[in-house]
Chain A
Amino acid sequence: MTLATATLLVLIAGHAVRETARDALFLADLPATRLPWAYLAIAVGAIAVGAANRLLLDRFSHLRLLIGTLVIGVIVDLGFWQIASAPTPGTLLGLYAWTGLLGTAVTLQLWLHLADVFDVAEAKRVFPWVAAGGLTGAVLGSVLAGALLEVTETRSLLLASAALLLVSAGVASLLSSRHEIQSPQEDRSSSPSLLELLGSSYLRQITLLAVCVAMLATGIDFVFKDAVERSIPTDELGSFFARFHAVVNLAALGLDLLLASWLLRHLGVTRAIAVFPVLILASAGAFAGLGGLAAALLLKAVDEALRQSLYEPSAQVLYQPLSVQTRNAAKTAVESIGRRGGQALSSLLILGVASAGLGAREIGAGLVALALLALFALRGLRREYVARFQQRLRGLAGEARAEIPSLELDSLEVLVSNLSSPEDAEVLTAIDLLESYGRSALVSPLLLHHPSPKVVLRALGILQTADHPHLDGILERLLEHGDAEVRAGALNAVAARDGETAQVERLLHSDPSPAVRMTAVIALAARHEDPAQARAFLAKLLDGAAVEEKIAVARALPRLPCPVASESALRLIADRDVPAAKELAQALSNETELDPGWIPTLIALLSRREARPPARSALLSQGERALAALDSALRDPDTDDAVRRHLPRTIHRFGSAAAAAILVRAMPKSDPAVCYKILRGLGRMRANDPDLALPEAELAEEAKDGLERAIGMLHFRVGYYTWSGLHGVDGGDARDLLGEVLEDKEARALERVFRVLHIAEPQAEFDAIFEALRTPGHPMQAEGLELIEHLVAAELRDGVLAMVGPDAAADRLRRATRSHGLPHARALADALPADGEVDALKDRQALDAALEPLFGQMLADEDPILVSIAQHRWTEISDALKPLAGARRQSPR
């Protein structure tokens, strides 16, 4: 940064000296009305320079090009010094144009180089300082020019400017070139064309802004010099320009140091830029109304001071969301079309105004209109600026979760052909897929002849209630199948279809498999009308039943009236050593018209991993009734934790606004694990339906809670390490459990904040931003911070920025507590010495006071893991401090 600042300082100092010489020499011999021709010459020349610049960039880096241009500048300055002894109008026009072109070319090359070297966060910090270097150079250059004019003639200033250019070339050669290892040839292939650039609405807006600002600068320069020419004697022009530029540049420097950086950080890029046209609007209005030298000086001073100190550095930041190739091409294009096109257009307009016999005040009125146009160009630019960052972040993220593709004719053919695959797994998946697509009717009864019992059982589940003319016959044959599970399944299907009791009774008495006999018993019991008898019968059946018999019961239970069957179902589920839960859930999900009385059983089945998918599917098919039951279960404090933790993801599958509202309402009362699941569920709902209505106020409150939790954990961690340092306590266990757990809790609380933000505004890409910020070395970290500045609501912004920023923990705590009033955390942040060293007794006392309640607060925390680890650590510390006579000992409570 220092070298970049020094380069710009010397470079601009040289430019200020040359500019003073140019203006004085020009206005001494030529009238101000010739200035528009000079502006035109600059504009035309700049287009040629821009084209040359693009060509040369293919061969040379920005830095090399800058150094080369500076060296050429030295030679040309010396040439002008030589011929300016007897100036002609052509020489003066040439000098005027050269000064403008050289100034533009070298500053552009330097900024392009800096944009390559710094990311957006560094740019926002560094660019104002570099710009300040430029302003300092302008002040020094103007002062130097004034001093030289006391002792020598105006022409000699060109010698001084050549010398300063030479020095700046030397300093520039020391600049870092860390980003210039890319081969320019490689860049060229991906550089967008001018048409592509202008196809971007963002770049069109930037170009329009640049055109307006260039036109303003040209118009203001003209009215200023016109007023000067009318009011200042020719022999005083040189010293007048030197003094004026010195004063204005000094003001610009002051603004830059005191205000520009602050404005950029606090208003954001586009609002900071808007300050410039607003003030131009006011001063141009004053000039248009009043006219005269004073108003012209004010207008020029506002333009010079704000353009250099505020507008230019802010406008440079506008290019940061673009890729390196686009940025380079865009800057060159905006420079050529925007700045020089604006200058040319402005020159032509001034010539037109002059030929129409109108004066400077009319031009002032035109400046008012231009300032308004510049403000118009800024409309929506912030949104576009943010969108560019999001686009780049999105390019690095993506969606891991995919779904089966939508069903087309070709896909349908693939599925149906896979039903005859030799691989059982492929057949089973094809059946699953057809069921997912709602095309179960395409599952052919022929599959019931499949050699694999697994396939036959799966097909039976689908086909058991199908209206197929030959199905009863096939089922009858399956009752004689060699595999007992298939026979039981077929029997179950027969019962589901209200088949003949005789068949069932035959199997009950003749089948060798207990599982088949058990199925037959249930089928018969299902036809029993007395629930009490059926209940007693089932209880007897399950007592002492073998595993495969219990599985058979689970498969057949949906045949029984609900209250009776669901009681037995709960008994079956309770036995975790029997894999009956999955079979029961699958059987329930196969039912086309399931009794709602099964809902509590289905909810209980959620506690079993293998049963969860079919249980969820069955709950979904129950619709609103199931959703209401799930809501009650989530709110009921007596719900088993093993069930509760799976409720959020079950509820989210309903995908409705009502489901989302249930989840959002449950968040504040849920434990962290359930809350995390709720957030994941809501995130998935948002991904599936970005327009889903969600209660915004509750979400905002949740984000705030998460942020305060994260700050609280940071407070504990900073406090713990500070306390340990002050008391000379070492790390304790080989593993620093307390430090680690506090870091984990902080990270998880921050993750919670970003999940909520993402749910509230999925299009803002908060998930990608968080991923970028928490991944060490991620290339988009600076962009992530920039996006937070623009996207996060004001009440959270500073706190979030502090917490995710790259600063040390203590500094993050200080920043975070400035915007979030956690009294204990703020007390510690205030007491922490700025340099980390506790020197004075006063510091120590304040720190001790802030740290005194620390362990007590940790032990009173809501998180049992943190409490246990803090207690453990306190015991360790107490044991370690016991032998130290006079050591400070405090109770943790």
Chain B
Amino acid sequence: MSAETRLDRVLALAAIPELADLHPDDLASLAEQAEEQTVSADDACAVRLLLSGRVEAGPSRTPIAAPAMIGAVEALAGVAFPVRAVSDAWVLAIERPALLWVMSDVFETMLAMLRHTAARWLLAEDLEAEPVTREGSAPPLDRPVSLAHRILLLSGCEIFRSLRVHGLGRVASEMEELELPAQSILWEPGARASHCFAVIDGSVEIGAEPFRSAPLLQRPGAVLGLRRVISGGERNTRAVSTTPVRVLRLAGESLVDELEDDPEMAAAFLESLAHQTLRAESANPKQPEPRP
């Protein structure tokens, strides 16, 4: 690949909104692993970076115009995502293993994918409470709650379940235990999403204002507010404790730092995030299709 072509690619990739914050060197790493592709319907698990032209993507053939990143979440979840060109299109494709490889070495690309995936999940479900796999587990009695209990608490949450114990331990070590009275506000609309919470004991209600539907009531084991912390931006919901609660608070920056320190954990976390996103999208078909 000539230097001119590489530079062209770097500049074109910079126009893709999800990648716009990446340093040119990071974009060069992505460009290096990408292959120019003639787009036709197929079921390969690759991320398509549409640099010019128009395509139709997904089973519902959503029209998408350049510049755009297509099928990233699907590729990370290992789900087929057909893409078909409707005009002359300049597309770079990055296969899943190559993408994971770049992300493990260049964390900023991993972070861009994390943000993109979390943002898509929020589009599907904006009442932020991560699915819990172990309902009704008894709250830990120790105060402060031990690291082992924190790990168990986190591993009961779907999104953390696939992480290794060492990684969970690192994340759990960064959490701060808080005891709050009833009616405490964990976050409210307009606040910067800087922390997420794991409920140890008590219950928390989350709702959008004005309430579009009944607010969610979350109990021990629930992890709240994580998606917005990863995607960045401001809250558009309110989270209030309905009883006195004990929670573990995790700063988004600490989580991201831990993910940066452990690329394998970051990859597992991202894959889990991708699966959850697709699950939420299929459960909520009203969510907008991929960005036209």
Contact = CB atoms under 8 A, between A and B. Distances in A.
Given A432-B23, A864-B173, A404 B101 contact: no
A402 B257 contact: no
Interface stretch (A110-118, A812-820, A867-875): A867-875
A289 B51 CA distance: 82
B14 A401 contact: no
Interface in A700-758: 733-735, 737, 740-741, 744-745, 748
Given A402-B25, A733-B152, A869-B147, A740 B31 contact: no
B292 interface: no
Most chain B CB within 10 A, of A401, A402, A613, A748, is at A402
A890 interface: no
A676 B8 CA distance: 35
B67 A423 contact: yes
A737 B192 contact: no
B164 A645 contact: no
A741 B15 contact: no
A433 B261 contact: no
A673 B261 contact: yes
Contacts of B20: 425, 428
A185 B3 CA distance: 39
A609 B261 CA distance: 13
Contacts of B101: 400
Interface stretch (B102-110, B211-219, B273-281): B102-110
B25 A404 contact: yes
A864 B146 CA distance: 11
A405 B152 contact: no
Contacts of A576: 194, 253
Given A425-B14, A677-B261, A868-B148, A741 B4 contact: no
Interface stretch (A342-350, A351-359, A410-418, A797-805): A410-418
A871 B102 CA distance: 38
A740 B12 contact: no
Contact of A411 (B4, B148, B192): B4
Interface residues of A, number: 50
A433 B149 CA distance: 48
A576 B252 CA distance: 11
A673 B171 CA distance: 12
B291 interface: no
Nearest to A734: B134
A737 B253 contact: no
A430 B3 CA distance: 15
B11 interface: yes
B23 A613 contact: yes
Contacts of B192: 577
Contacts of B12: 426
Interface string B163-198: 011110110110000000000000000001010000
Contact of B147 (A608, A609, A734, A868): A868
Interface in A372-426: 400-408, 410-411, 414-415, 418, 421, 423, 425-426
Nearest to B108: A613
A865 B7 contact: no
Contacts of B151: 737, 865, 869
B233 to A, nearest CB: 12
B25 A414 contact: no
B3 A408 contact: yes
B14 A744 contact: no
Contacts of B7: 404-405, 411, 414-415, 433
Interface string B1-28: 0111011101110111100100111011
A444 interface: no
Given A577-B194, A865-B173, A404 B24 contact: yes
A429 B22 CA distance: 9
Nearest to A578: B192
Contact of A609 (B6, B10, B170, B256): B256
Contact of B3 (A400, A401, A411, A872): A411
A403 B23 CA distance: 10
A478 to B, nearest CB: 24
Given A410-B4, A868-B147, A673 B11 contact: no
B155 interface: yes
Most chain B CB within 10 A, of A401, A410, A608, is at A401
A869 B165 contact: yes
Nearest to B8: A414
A400 B106 contact: yes
**Interface bin, chain B:** 35 or more
A606 to B, nearest CB: 11
A740 B8 CA distance: 46
B32 interface: yes
B11 A414 contact: yes
Contact of A871 (B10, B17, B146): B146
B169 A869 contact: yes
A733 B2 CA distance: 56
Given A609-B256, A613-B23, A433 B10 contact: yes
A604 B121 CA distance: 34
A436 interface: yes
Given A401-B29, A405-B6, A426-B15, A735 B155 contact: yes
B33 interface: yes
B128 to A, nearest CB: 19
Contacts of A401: 25, 29, 105-106
A402 B28 contact: yes
A402 B169 CA distance: 32
B166 A745 contact: yes
B41 to A, nearest CB: 28
Nearest to B14: A429
Contacts of A609: 253, 256-257
A431 B28 CA distance: 15
Given A425-B14, A744-B166, A436 B24 contact: yes
A576 B147 CA distance: 26
A428 B256 CA distance: 26
A741 B29 contact: no
Contacts of A608: 253
Nearest to A869: B148
Given A403-B28, A613-B23, A865 B166 contact: yes
Most chain B CB within 10 A, of A404, A428, A677, A869, is at A404
A110 to B, nearest CB: 38
Contact of A402 (B31, B104, B148, B256): B31
Contact of B29 (A400, A428, A744, A868): A400
A541 to B, nearest CB: 23
A872 B166 contact: no
B196 to A, nearest CB: 15
A454 to B, nearest CB: 10
B165 A425 contact: no
Contacts of A748: 166
Contact of B15 (A405, A425, A613, A740): A425
Contacts of A872: 146, 148-149
Contacts of A415: 7, 11
Contacts of A432: 23-24
B173 A402 contact: no
Contacts of B257: 609, 642, 645
Nearest to A872: B148
A150 to B, nearest CB: 68
A436 B14 CA distance: 15
A406 B164 contact: no
Contact of A741 (B14, B28, B166, B253): B166
A404 B28 contact: yes
Contact of B169 (A429, A436, A735, A741): A741
The list of the 3 closest CB pairs from A to B, nearest first, reads A872-B148, A865-B169, A868-B147
10 contacts: A402-B31, A411-B4, A425-B15, A426-B14, A430-B11, A577-B194, A735-B155, A744-B165, A865-B170, A872-B148
Given A744-B165, A868-B169, 14 more contacts: A400-B33, A404-B7, A405-B7, A426-B14, A613-B23, A645-B261, A735-B165, A737-B152, A740-B164, A741-B165, A744-B164, A744-B166, A745-B166, A872-B149
